Amino acid sequence: QGQLVESGGGLVQAGGSLRLSCAASGRTFSAYAMGWFRQILGKERESVAAISWNGDSTYYADSAKGRFTISRDSTKNTVYLQMNSLKPEDTAVYFCAADRTFRDLTVVGGRVTYWGQGTQVTVSS
């Protein structure tokens, strides 16, 4: 186990919506906090959103607040990132991540136990 696979990326026009999915390989992730990071061309990887193992706590980067929503479905071993009102500056490779410590998914340089391969999101202007 310990595999995360993202899907749902693609090309979308500004103002559109996209839902990213992250499928976990095993039920071990039910005890893990989950999050989404993104790598914008020319910038360092940054946290976008995170959710605690039980869903009681969430985190959103300032750039994502009001537009993005993170959720998880334990029965499907899947975490989602609903992205609305997309902007060209949202263009990036988006990575799913998992760690036992919620805080590590909200900061740069935090310890992340599992990373997905990434999925490209391109928002055209």
User: How many Cβ atoms are within 10 Å of 93's Cβ, its own excluded?
Assistant: 18
User: How far is it, in rounded angstroms, from Cα 3 to Cα 83?
Assistant: 23
Higher pLDDT, 22 or 111: 22
Mean pLDDT along residues 87-110: 94
Check: CB of residue 123 under 8 Å from CB of residue 13: yes
- Report the share of the chain in percent with pLDDT over 90: 80
Q: Residue 90 gets which letter from DSSP? A: G
In this prediction, residue 25 carries a pLDDT of: 81
**At 31, is the pLDDT very low, low, confident or very high (cuts 50, 70, 90)?**
confident
**At 106, is the pLDDT very low, low, confident or very high (cuts 50, 70, 90)?**
very high
Greatest CA span in the chain, whole angstroms? 40
In this prediction, residue 109 carries a pLDDT of: 81
pLDDT at 28 over 80: no
User: How far is it, in rounded angstroms, from Cα 40 to Cα 79?
Assistant: 21
Burial (Cβ within 10 Å: 0-12, 13-18, ≥19) of residue 33:
buried
User: How many Cβ atoms are within 10 Å of 34's Cβ, its own excluded?
Assistant: 29
